[in-house]
Structure 1
Amino acid sequence: MIRSIGVSVLAGAAVTLVSGCAPDSTPAAKRALVYGATPSGIAAAVAIARAGIDVQLVLGESPLGGMMTNGLGRSDIANPALIGGLADAFFRLVGKAYGQTGPVYNFEPHVALQAFQSMLDQYSIKPISGVVDHVLRNGLALSGVVLIDGTVLTADVFIDSSYEGLLLQQAGVQMTYGREATTTFGEKRAGYGYHFSEFPVSSESEDGVVSAGLSATPTQRVGTADSKIMAFNYRLCLTDDPSNAVPFSRSSNYDSSQFDVLARSFSSGVPYAVRALPVAPHKFDLNGGGFFDTDLVGGSWGSRLRISTVANRSQQFTVITQ
């Protein structure tokens, strides 16, 4: 987990501050670079601009607005009274787009994009398209980044607000990720563990073959640490209005053997837990929530996997399982 420091965070990504100054010097920053135009990256850029500091916002691997402009339109808001600052400003812009006088917490992706763009336009922040290739240093201090297309950007302070933390990796910043052991912080549910209840379907088919993506026995001791992260998935914006819908089509990569456990689950009465959560009239945010859903469990593990490979696998799985 990457812990956020120094910058207010809008839901969607962690923000980590990477100073371009050596530890023994603290000059006032004149220019900042925010890498990753996720919701938190946009919030960081706006906060910096409001402070009167020149800011460069680099899109990175994700499109402007990240998940919130690409399907995740159902906000987890338990207590609206706790929402303030730039997050509240965003939700109020969403409400304005829907003709409301107050904040609106569920929305269509294009409305979120309009709200984020409005926040950037207010401070004349123009996102820079590009992905970091490598970084520049002045001794121990980070002094600039070079994008894949050769563009060189310099700054006094750098913020990585991307989902994958690519700038952090390129800069060699120490960080941690994965599951911590139960003993690390005394958390009973930390570390490796089973699902909330035992899966009522065998991992083996009738001929004794363990199904794809599953293990017949635990792969490690419950409660131990590892470097594995949560499964990626795609959040989809769906509609029940045929006149505004794009029909689902069969994936060219469909392999029924990858879903034999799902087929046996149906026979055993196990529900296929995919939720279509309403966000606007005739619009829904598709999300998982059970044993089988749009999460490609185990699909984002492995040091040899590239981000593009994980993304493609998850995209194909989501299209097939929806």
Structure 2
Amino acid sequence: MRILPLTLFFVASLQAADLQTDVCIYGATPGGVAAALAAARSGSDVVLVEPTARIGGLLTSGLSHTDFHSFESLTGSFLEFSQRVKAHYVKTYGADSDQVKASFEGTFGEPKVNLLVLQQLLKEQPRITLREKAVLVSLDIEDAAITQASFKSGDETLKVKAKVFIDGSYEGDLMANAGVKYHVGREGRDVYGESLAPEKGDSELQAYNFRFCATDDANNRVPIAAPKGYRREDFVAVLDFLKPGKIDRVFGYPSRCIVKAQTPALPNRKYDLNDVSRGLVRLSMPGHNLGWPEGDEAVRQAIFDEHLRYNVGLLYFLINDKAVPEAIQQPAREWGWCKDEFTETGHLPPQLYVREARRMIGQHVYVQQDSEHAPGDARAKLFTDSITMGDYGNNCHGTSHEGPQIGGKHGGEMYNPVPPYQVPYGALVAKECTNLLVPVAVSSSHVGFCALRLEPIWMSLGQASGHAAALAIQTSKPVHEVSMSTLQSRLHQDKSATIYVADVLPGHPLFEAVQWWGTAGGLHGLNPMPEKPGQRGKNLHGQYFEANPGHAAELSKPMDAYTRDLWLALTAKLGILSNELPKAPTRGDFIQAAFSKKQ
């Protein structure tokens, strides 16, 4: 669970009652919401339980500049969500409005708009029952299966019986209560042979900070007030860095600033504030979060408060203290919190950015090598049991800090470019439990997790979990025995990709066929590995790029002898025999003919 300030907890409105359902999901993070939507659309009744007063996790708590590299990587549940965000701005302001342009195809939504869209998506599904402000307290387990979960909200208790359970929490709280094996911290290099891992394992976690929503619009600006417990002496050290050649502004992008006010701005002149990667002064606080993953409510609350005190206090000092140089302070005074955001929590995000907590040790542990190039190939390692894909890389803002909080240096930071990568189904599946799926605290090493911990990927993992849960129920099988071909087919029909294809996107008439073919291995071996590993397309701005090169299906391209022989060998391996295949004039014709003959 993510802990809200204590003043935000209200007397429970839940009535003590037992609910019986098909799927119970704990944590209405983007991954949890996507799981609920998918399970409901696959015909299951769903109870979605959120421990806080606000659904959506970080997607509705300040993380508005979504982390991805190319639009071509956005499919399934996140694509639907972003399209709905864009549609909101079109309806509200007009198709040619500045707000629509600023939304960046719906991936840069204001927190309140992101929340509204997720609420609407859930309300449209009558099979979904949402319960908020309910914290998991215990599980009943029989014969390696969870039978019931008990939740507490104030003085009330809610008991939910379900056939399949999904842990949508950032922390893996339900997974841990189920007795599933997990890891907290970093593995040593010898555990999985990862070059980016430390020589020896340790308890370090990727650092946390807040993702504030701020504005320089005087008409919508609220002053940044001193946080509770503010002490001036905690921030005086920052003055040493406010000199020419070091830091020349408080709010900026991408460097030489205190906080990253990510550009371009969000709709209505709002900014997503974040930690400055490799910056001289950081919002993130490595080492101060170590108690969070397994901490109780009081421990997590203390960590929340400490991060709030430092993150807000630093900005308050820079804007208000007389010792700050005027050239830096004056522009900073034009900034403040957004009057129309987080109105229930003093205009501050109600959730801390928990970048990493527990990670399951499941049937497949996702590691560094899983997102690297296949030998000599433009594409990453092939997973024929893939249930989603991503386009980002191993990204870590630091796990340790040497020296004082202001003036020291982060350690454990990494930004590793890789090609678009797949995620196998086994990363969702626990070894010890027959009816549990874990799409957020997903089975992975620390390094592997740094490539999966992005909201679009978490939503796709959640979407796969929802469909898998429904399929397991419908076929009376444990979750690890669901038909992979059936699950992948449902995902493709739900416009979710299991492999990156730059030129055949959801909505294309051959999307399902190309996804099936590519996931079977048909798109590997067509293009060589680029000179620079993880080569990306032309830069759009910041971390955003055009489609990844070497990843197009090129359906209209005439068949050549090499590709024909390669593909005929694959169809034979798949048990597909057809006289039409050798005669197919183009790649698209071949894939379409093979798809029509598949079992």
TM-score of Structure 1 vs Structure 2, range by shorter chain: 0.7 to 0.9
Q: 1:190 aligns with which of 197, 201, 206?
A: 197
Q: Which residue of 2 aligns with 1:258?
A: 234
**CA separation in 1, counterparts of 2:267 and 2:147?**
45
**CA separation in 1, counterparts of 2:62 and 2:184?**
25
Deviations 1:178-202 (A, max 9, x none): 21223333333322xxxxxxxxxxx
Contact 1:37 1:62 (C-alpha < 8 Å) held by counterparts: no
Deviations 1:64-104 (A, max 9, x none): 00111111110123110111111110000011011159942
Deviations 1:47-71 (A, max 9, x none): 0001101111001247200111111
Q: 1:43 aligns with which of 15, 29, 34?
A: 34
Deviations 1:158-194 (A, max 9, x none): 1111111111122111112321223333333322xxx
Which amino acid letter does the alignment assign opposite residue 246 of structure 1? V
The DSSP-based 3-state class of the residue aligned with 2:282 is coil
- Normalized against structure 1, the TM-score is what? 0.75
Q: Which residue of 2 aligns with 1:66?
A: 57
Q: Which residue of 2 aligns with 1:219?
A: none
Trace 1:50-89 onto structure 2 (pairs within 5 A): 50-61=41-52, 63-89=54-80
Q: Which residue of 1 aligns with 2:131?
A: 128
Q: Which residue of 2 aligns with 1:176?
A: 183
Residue 145 of structure 1, CA deviation = 0.8
The DSSP-based 3-state class of the residue aligned with 2:222 is coil
The DSSP-based 3-state class of the residue aligned with 2:129 is coil
The DSSP-based 3-state class of the residue aligned with 2:230 is coil
**CA separation in 2, counterparts of 1:240 and 1:54?**
45
Contact 2:227 2:308 (C-alpha < 8 Å) held by counterparts: no
**CA separation in 2, counterparts of 1:317 and 1:229?**
19
Deviations 1:255-277 (A, max 9, x none): 23433543333359533431112
Unaligned ranges ≥5, structure 2: 1-19, 248-256, 316-599
Q: Which residue of 1 aligns with 2:341?
A: none
Distance verdict in 2 for CA 1:98–1:187, change over 3 Å: same
Distance verdict in 2 for CA 1:113–1:252, change over 3 Å: closer
**CA separation in 1, counterparts of 2:77 and 2:165?**
20
Q: 2:219 aligns with which of 239, 243, 253?
A: 243
Deviations 1:236-266 (A, max 9, x none): 1111112212111122312234335433333
Q: Which residue of 2 aligns with 1:296?
A: 285
Q: Which residue of 1 aligns with 2:589?
A: none
**CA separation in 2, counterparts of 1:297 and 1:72?**
19
**CA separation in 2, counterparts of 1:136 and 1:112?**
35
**CA separation in 1, counterparts of 2:34 and 2:73?**
17
Q: Tell me how large the CA RMSD over aligned residues is.
A: 2.3
Unaligned ranges ≥5, structure 1: 1-28, 192-222
Q: 1:142 aligns with which of 138, 141, 146?
A: 146
Residue 110 of structure 1, CA deviation = 0.7
Distance verdict in 2 for CA 1:78–1:178, change over 3 Å: same
Which amino acid letter does the alignment assign opposite residue 127 of structure 1? L
Contact 1:60 1:162 (C-alpha < 8 Å) held by counterparts: no
Q: Which residue of 1 aligns with 2:83?
A: 92
Which amino acid letter does the alignment assign opposite residue 81 of structure 1? E
1:307 aligns with 2:300: yes
**CA separation in 2, counterparts of 1:93 and 1:318?**
32
**CA separation in 2, counterparts of 1:236 and 1:287?**
7
**CA separation in 2, counterparts of 1:226 and 1:255?**
32
4+ residue stretches of structure 1 with deviation over 4 A?
Answer: none
The DSSP-based 3-state class of the residue aligned with 1:43 is helix
The DSSP-based 3-state class of the residue aligned with 2:40 is helix
Contact 1:239 1:283 (C-alpha < 8 Å) held by counterparts: yes
**CA separation in 2, counterparts of 1:145 and 1:319?**
37
1:112 aligns with 2:114: yes
Which stretch shows the higher mean deviation, 234-243 or 248-257? 248-257
The DSSP-based 3-state class of the residue aligned with 2:157 is coil
Q: Which residue of 1 aligns with 2:329?
A: none
Which stretch shows the higher mean deviation, 181-190 or 123-132? 181-190
Contact 1:68 1:109 (C-alpha < 8 Å) held by counterparts: yes
The DSSP-based 3-state class of the residue aligned with 1:134 is strand
Which amino acid letter does the alignment assign opposite residue 121 of structure 1? K
Which stretch shows the higher mean deviation, 299-308 or 133-142? 299-308
The DSSP-based 3-state class of the residue aligned with 1:135 is strand
Trace 1:250-289 onto structure 2 (pairs within 5 A): 250-266=226-242, 270-271=246-247, 272-277=257-262, 278-289=265-276
Contact 1:94 1:104 (C-alpha < 8 Å) held by counterparts: yes
Number of residue pairs matched by the alignment: 263
Residue 311 of structure 1, CA deviation = 1.4
**CA separation in 2, counterparts of 1:83 and 1:304?**
34
Which stretch shows the higher mean deviation, 242-251 or 157-166? 242-251
**CA separation in 2, counterparts of 1:115 and 1:304?**
32
Of all paired residues, the percent bearing the same amino acid is 30
**CA separation in 2, counterparts of 1:189 and 1:261?**
32
Which amino acid letter does the alignment assign opposite residue 111 of structure 1? V
**CA separation in 2, counterparts of 1:282 and 1:268?**
28
Which amino acid letter does the alignment assign opposite residue 159 of structure 2? V
The DSSP-based 3-state class of the residue aligned with 1:74 is coil
Which amino acid letter does the alignment assign opposite residue 275 of structure 1? K
**CA separation in 1, counterparts of 2:228 and 2:312?**
11
Deviations 1:120-140 (A, max 9, x none): 122122311211011112243
1:233 aligns with 2:235: no
The DSSP-based 3-state class of the residue aligned with 1:275 is strand
